Amino acid sequence: MVKSYSKYEQTDAFGVVATATSNIVWTSEGITAPGSSRPAGAGRAYAGANEEVICWDVKKGELLSRWRDSACTEEVTVICQSKVDPDVFAVGYADGSIRIWDSRTATVIISFNGHKSAVTVLAFDQSGVRLASGSKDTDIVIWDLVSEVGLFKLRGHKGQVTGLCFLHPSKGSEEDETTGANPESDADQAFLLSTSKDALIKIWDVDTQHCIETHIAQTNGECWALGVSPDSSGCITAGNDGELKVWAIDLVGLGKAGSSIGDGSEQRHLHERGILHRQGKDRAQGILFYPKSNYIAVHGAEKAVEIWRIRNEGEVQKSLARKRKRRREKARNETDGELREQTEAEEKINIADAEIGEVIVPYVTVRTVGKVRSVSWVQIKGSKKLQLLVGTNNNLIDIYDISQKSKSKSDEEPDYNRALSVELSGHRNDIRALALSSDDRMLASASSGGLKIWNIRTQSCLRTLECGYALCVAFLPGDKIVVVGTKDGDIELYDIAASSLLDKIPAHEGPVWTLKVHPDGKSVVTGSADKCVKFWNFEIVQEEIPGTKRTTAQLKLVESRILKVNDDVLSVEFSPDSRLLAVSTLDNTVKVFFVDSLRLFLNLYGHKLPVLNMSISSDSKLIATCSADKNIRIWGLDFGDCHRALFGHQDSIMQIAFIPHPVEQDEKHVFFSASKDKTIKSWDGDKFEQIQRFKGHHGEIWAMTVARTGDFVVTASHDKSIRVWSKTDEPIFLEEERERELEEMYENNLATSLEDDPNQLNGDASEAVAASKQTIGTLTAGERIQEALDVGLEDLELVRAWHQQRKTNPKIAPPQRNPLFLALGNISAERHVLNTLSKIPAAQLHDALLVLPFSSLPALFAFIAIWIQRQWNVTLTCRVLFFMLKTHQKQIVASRELKAGLEAMRQGLRTTLGGTKDLIGFNIAALRFVGERVDEAGIVRLEDVDRVDGNSVKKRAFVDVA
């Protein structure tokens, strides 16, 4: 009989506040305090947490919601909120996919897939209908959220896209009625501003799909950030060495340029205003204008955010006047007349000609706790405070209050303070050690400077304690005390209930790499880089309470024995029967000693690099060792013979563990390994075979611990997350698992081969191309359509022939149709093909249709003709028809047999679409009529009229109140 194993699946992931791969977005809560018009909280922060987006209540530090698509395991790289509908968010991922989320329901509305590599920047247009995405693959894609398709792909940049912003000239031209500009410019007219690592800044005309202007954005290398002012009248680009370049955008000129393309005149709409220099010389990563005031936040990768202020016209005039005065005084002191004339000629009176350094001035530098990854301005309704939300690389979200300078002259820098923080839900540094309590309810996680105790079921943080640079951790019997071994050679004892440090023992002269509690629970053993293994007994000592004569019982660790070895100790392990102690050292060997006499029993040679961790099975018969040489070795503890060496992982294996107290006999020799290659694997120690591979972490796995009976495994990684992998009732068969892995490998290879761009292979260098990307999903969808067409056409012919025969012989029996149609409830062939098409997501439909060869077109057109005739799903029918006509235009024009069918379709479609247009027009008119009646019903008192007038653009001349 084939042996089966229990399957493990990820059930929880916690410990992450915000990952360094993504930006953070602040949004208002919209909930007001009772009796006040101001919101009660400090808003919400949306941050990427590996493959999830998590929403935090910044004031309470509470987790409000998690957005996770089970189909996506890639990291979140960028989050963008729609300005039109604040509940809609676009999220870009590391595999090039984009998902549109609804924050109210935490569900995916639309999925797009058009980029080959990670999405780096997203931007919504003014109407919230179009989305622009930029990626590491240098392409910009414009997506239509209504029809759920990629409109086109813009090519021109030669480096990663770092900034995108839509420009709408209609805004600027309305203000310029006096200058003769056309105020009624096209509302749909849009331009796109983009920057890239290739140091270029470009303006694209979205309507004509081409680049109309290109400039060099940075003088010294790559351009890393773009910030556009709220009114789109100017922008700032940033790069290396603290350089900021300021640009003025001619919106009125852009509006005219859209209508005058092809007149041959070369116009510039982007004008360089000057260069500013930041205090920090690191690479700038973000520029953000404050939407309601004249402040700009600029940050690099260091622990600082620089706030700049845009002076108003009066301040600039005063500054220029002061400079003029100084120049005159200087000129007076000079005897040379020529110099006087020269200085007077240099005087600047016009504010537009003022140097940019006079207009934009440094305001304050906010020093942060960790290195800054992203910033977002906080705008609470009714609040006059200047607040900044900062996400850092060390798993932290902070809000800083910045004081706005008073009008009085003072050279003092404005104050700022760290007002709120979300920090308790995760470690600042990588977790180096994990330990479970004896009842598997509590989890201790230790990092450099932090020890946290978690409730494993609710994932809530029970205690946060400050500790040294922790390398190992363990619960002492009773689960009330946690012992930590540090890099400084100390052993620290912590009382969980009192949240206090009980004792700190300078145990070793080198880092304490390993720490294990004796199976009898009466002592603990530590191994260190000072080549010593020390045994410590637990003793209860009566200590005097200072200032009184009373005593209190205190737990002390008393050193009982020392075992000295020839090299640094990396790991120690007791056998469950308390008979043996295994010690791994830096010389690649494992030595097994008798616990009672400390006499050497076995030497285990074989690993090519040091053994990093060991585990002994619950029956004390096998020892498994894992090493930096990527191998796992299984040894017998009776004679020390190596049963098998397994090539386990693609990188150093950090942890290995048998199930401590398995319930079933079969699981005695099942063990788990965790590696720096970001995967965990389960193994059968008897058959020497891999059972399962767990993928989920996005960084090196440093620590792992297994529950007593193997119900779950907990792992901690460089991606700051702690993940729980729980045993399920689903069985696993090794052959099936190997087949599934081979299929995955085949699909990955197929996906990479599909990504080869045909346009690049043909040497096609056009600026705008189709926004398509073939994936496994679109390929299988295309195959499903082809299959439905083949089966459907056969059935269509069969049913037609039967109808013909019925005319001569009415009593003829119905034909023997394909069992598929009978299984689907005796569905007709044309309905089946339409259902197949409608089940494909709108964003993938075009790519799926590209899979169909030209030979399938007559069959598809035959079905489309039936759908048009019966007026079934007109929208989808038109989409499919128009796309296929556009794709295969040349072949269709040359084909005679398709011409007659297309003519018939054209007539039917024109009638159908005419009727649909009339229906939509009637509905819109009805909605307007109802809307007007609702507005009229809302006006009862004179105050209501004032309110309506205040909201409308045109003021009423008089009001007739009935």
What string of DSSP letters covers 623-640? EEEEETTSEEEEEETTT-
Query: How many whole angstroms separate alpha carbon 60 and alpha carbon 421?
Result: 9
Residue ranges in the chain whose pLDDT is less than 70 = 1, 30-40, 170-188, 258-266, 334-353, 405-412, 751, 754-765, 941-962
Q: How far is CA 795 from the centre of its chain?
A: 47
Residues 82, 129: Cα–Cα separation, whole Å: 9
Cα atoms found within 13 Å of the Cα of residue 137, Cβ hemisphere only: 22
- Cα dist. 606→120, 133, 588, 609 in Å? 46, 52, 8, 9
Q: What angle do CA 220, 223, 227 make, to 5 degrees?
A: 130
Distance CA 613, CA 92 (A): 38
Q: What is the DSSP string of 358-383?
A: HHEEEEEEEE-SS-EEEEEEE--TT-
* Inter-residue contact 196 to 161 (CB < 8 Å): yes
Residue 631: the pLDDT is 94
The label of the residue with tokens 């050679």 reads 489
Angle subtended by helix axes 897-938 and 874-887, to nearest 10: 130
- The alpha-carbon radius of gyration of the chain (Å, integer) is 35
The residues with which 693 forms a beta bridge, in sequence order, are: 681
DSSP annotation of 39 reads: B
53 residue type, one letter: V
Q: What are phi and psi of 215, to 5 degrees?
A: -135, 160
Which own/partner contact pairs does 742-746 have at CB distance under 8 Å and 24+ positions apart? Answer: none
Predicted pLDDT at 170? 62
Spans of all domains in the chain: 1-16+611-746, 430-540+551-564, 774-914
């370049």: which residue's tokens? 245
Q: Which amino acid is it at 749?
A: N
Contact 56, 759 (CB under 8 A): no
3-state secondary structure of 197: coil
String of b and e for 909-925 (b: at least 16 CB within 10 Å)? beebeeeeeeeeeeeee
Alpha carbon distance 153, 760 (integer Å): 13
Bridge partner list, 396: 392
Going edge to edge, which strands form the sheet with 512-517? 512-517, 523-528, 532-544, 551-564
The H or E element containing residue 196 is strand 191-196
Spatial CB neighbours of 167, under 8 Å, sequence gap ≥ 6? 190, 191, 192, 193, 203, 228, 232, 249, 251, 254
Q: Which residue has the tokens 């351009």?
A: 223
What is the DSSP code (8-state) at residue 708?
T
Q: Which residues pair with 97 in a beta bridge?
A: 113
CA–CA separation, 448 and 470 (whole Å)? 5
Expressed in percent and rounded to 5, the helix, strand and coil fractions of the chain are 25, 40, 35
What residues pair up with 634 in beta bridges, in sequence order?
A: 624, 644
Who's near 518: CB < 8 A, 6+ residues apart?
524, 525, 574, 578
Nearest to 694 by CA among 685, 684, 683, 686: 683
The DSSP call for residue 854 is G
N-to-C CA span, the chain: 90
Distance CA 202, CA 181 (A): 24
Q: What is the pLDDT of residue 121?
A: 95
The secondary structure of 233-296, three-state, reads CEEEEEECCCEEEEEEECHHHHHHHHHCCCCCCCCCCEEEEEEEECCCCCCCCEEEECCCCCEE
Going by C-alpha positions, the residue among 133, 20, 94 that lies closest to residue 718 is 20
d(CA 622, CA 639): 11
In single-letter form, the type of residue at position 147 comes to S
Main-chain phi, psi angles of 797, to 5 degrees: -65, -40
364 within 8 A of 382, measured Cβ to Cβ: no
CA torsion angle 116 120 125 127 (round to 10):
80
How far apart, in Å, are the Cα atoms of 425 and each of 29, 296, 454, 875, 899? 21, 30, 10, 48, 66
Pair 280, 300: CB distance under 8 Å: yes
Same fold, 1-16+611-746 and 430-540+551-564: yes
Sign of CA dihedral 355, 360, 362, 367: negative
Identify whether the C-beta of residue 477 lies closer than 8 Å to the C-beta of residue 517: yes
Torsion of CA 256, 259, 261, 265, to 10 degrees: -40
Q: Is residue 767 within 8 Å of 210, Cβ to Cβ?
A: yes
Q: Which of 623, 647, 618, 619 is nearest to 636 (CA)?
A: 623
Number of Cβ within a 10 Å radius of residue 412: 6
Q: Which two tokens stand for residue 324?
A: 């003029």
Report the distance separating Cα 363 and Cα 376, nearest Å: 17
Integer angstrom CA distances of residue 133 from 92, 130, 164, 172, 933: 8, 10, 8, 24, 41
Please say whether the dihedral angle defined by the alpha carbons of residues 790, 794, 799 and 803, taken in this order, is positive or negative: positive
Task: Give the DSSP per-residue string, 761-827.
Answer: HTT---SEE------HHHHHHHHHHHHHHHHHHHHHHHHHHHHHHHHH-TTPPPP---HHHHHTTS-
Regarding beta strands 512-517 and 689-695, do their DSSP bridges make them parallel or antiparallel, or are they unpaired? Answer: unpaired
pLDDT in tens, 826-857: 888 888 888 998 888 887 888 888 888 888 88
Which helix (H) or strand (E) segment is 304 a member of?
Answer: strand 304-310
Q: Is 903 helix (H, G, I), strand (E, B) or coil?
A: helix
Report helix, strand or coil for 835.
Answer: helix
CATH code of the domain occupying 1-16+611-746: 2.130.10.10
Nearest to 714 by CA among 436, 931, 941: 436
Amino acid at 724: V
Q: How many Å separate Cα 193 from the centre of its chain?
A: 24
Structure tokens at 7: 């399957």
CATH number of 430-540+551-564: 2.130.10.10
Whose tokens are 């080869």? That residue is 756
CB 199 within 8 A of CB 217: yes
